Structure 1
Amino acid sequence: MPLSQDPMRYYRSKRDQQRPRVTDKYTILGFISSGTYGRVYKARSKEGDGRIHAIKKFKPDKEGDVITYTGISQSAIREIALNREISHENVVELKEVILEDKSIYMVFEYAEHDFLQVIHHHSQTLRSSISAPVLKSLSYQLLNGLLYLHDAHIIHRDLKPANILITSNGIVKIGDLGLARLTYQPLQPLFAGDKVVVTIWYRAPELLLGAKHYNKSVDMWAIGCVVAELASLRPIFKGEEAKLDSKKNVPFQKDQFLKIIDILGTPEEREWPGVKDMPEYLNMKRLDRNDNKLYSWCSKTNFAHGHEFLKQTFAYDPDKRLTARDALRHKWFQEDPKPTTK
């Protein structure tokens, strides 16, 4: 049927023509990164002060190997919905969402660097550790942003150095809420929809042991991993990920768990009573026993001053793990050397 004889098609065509396109409002300056979701570009606003932004373009969903428009992905909807409800100095701000040619563009404030780049710069270029005042400042700001998310009943679920941004003024911004979930009256159980959350090196032990129910403490375990990585300039628990089997079942992540118990020792039922109820408990029991060597690791890393903070962040029992609020009040931040102001 010709366009003129199909009122709905005609209306959609007119509406799409009137809707501003990305290039009407922004000049694309270059490519930043890509992932399973799509690509991120650096762009300058054509309006006002010509501010720099990061524009995240989502790929259309696939049906088989042929790209056909099947709607907006769950991850995109979730990220847009959560970002529109939040506003905090230490969380990346969503400026606007643009729908163009069946693609979604999320326009974020721009941050020049991320923690992964900071770690790489210190380990490869400067060849020196991050100073204690700067490390404390980065950690404090990160926790400040996470407390805001947790108070808003949001679990990030994918905290890692590449997702934690930092501006040229030294302000930390938590980014990438693509895996984040609301914990307050969720429509589905947290494990439904995506069996695996959190990149393996930052994944909490309860997730590695197959927990179906978990809470905000998975983010605090990831915080401990990130702080330890800032201190040592390398991942503290760098395991090999076991891949899904042919039926898409998640296998026991033996190597990752071994990396954890090599430093933290074997979990004891007296310190984590719920461990015996975990689906992978018997697999864990088959592993060789280990003693806790965290203080030794901290001493070798010249991070003895942060031992107590890490010890409480790496509590095996999620209910005994430090919360974001308690972490911000931790004596580590009060002791000399104090955090830098930014």
Structure 2
Amino acid sequence: MDYQFISEASNNRPTVLEDYEFNEHVRIGRGSYGQVYKARQKSSSNNSMTFYALKEVKLTSYSPSACREIALYRELKQRNIMDLLKVYFSYSAQKKPGNILVMGDGKERGICKIADFVMARTFHSPLKPLEEVDEVVVTSWYRAPELLFGTRHYTKAIDIFSIGCIFAELLTNLPIFASNPETVSQPIRLPYQRNQLDKVFSVLGYPSLSSWSDLKHIPKYTKMQKELMRSK
């Protein structure tokens, strides 16, 4: 995402402070996601008694709830429902995944660049077992479940899973499968990471043999099944 372009576009739009006057220390309402102020248009005459409800919603990342509320207000028109007149967006640069860079100057402005291939591996056809190269690949938060289960081969499906993790992080501004390092019981260099698997399954649900038939052939699947049975 070209944040410089977004910032420049935002500077060309009128801001809420340019259009309305209100006392930011006096709220007329407060909810779970924001607060409401009593405002008056600056363009109106000083004698105008027309006031507006100005709702401020502070977000640190993409919010489906806020988008849904705006969409509903735009669609609903009824005398007992507030009319939505305008939405103001205040630009703030969000942090992207650290190894995905966007060029900001020159001919390549806006081009996405991928950096850091420390844990990347090449694979060929026919596939070579990972133990012949390095059985630990991909940073743990972006590691596909089959790798965490100790699969013996690297495939394109592993990259697709990592790409999905990155897109989710771009939308939410948070790593979707970030696990707490304090709860990791195995060394990070081991391919089988029970803690990371639990994090993935807590979001996506536990896989079944009917939805993932090759699961029974992955080395550590049987081990995890036994651990689950003991925990019960």
TM-score, normalisation: structure 2: 0.49
Instruction: Kindly indicate which of the two structures has a greater share of residues assigned to strand.
Output: 1
Larger radius of gyration: 2
Instruction: Kindly indicate which of the two structures has a greater share of residues assigned to helix.
Output: 1
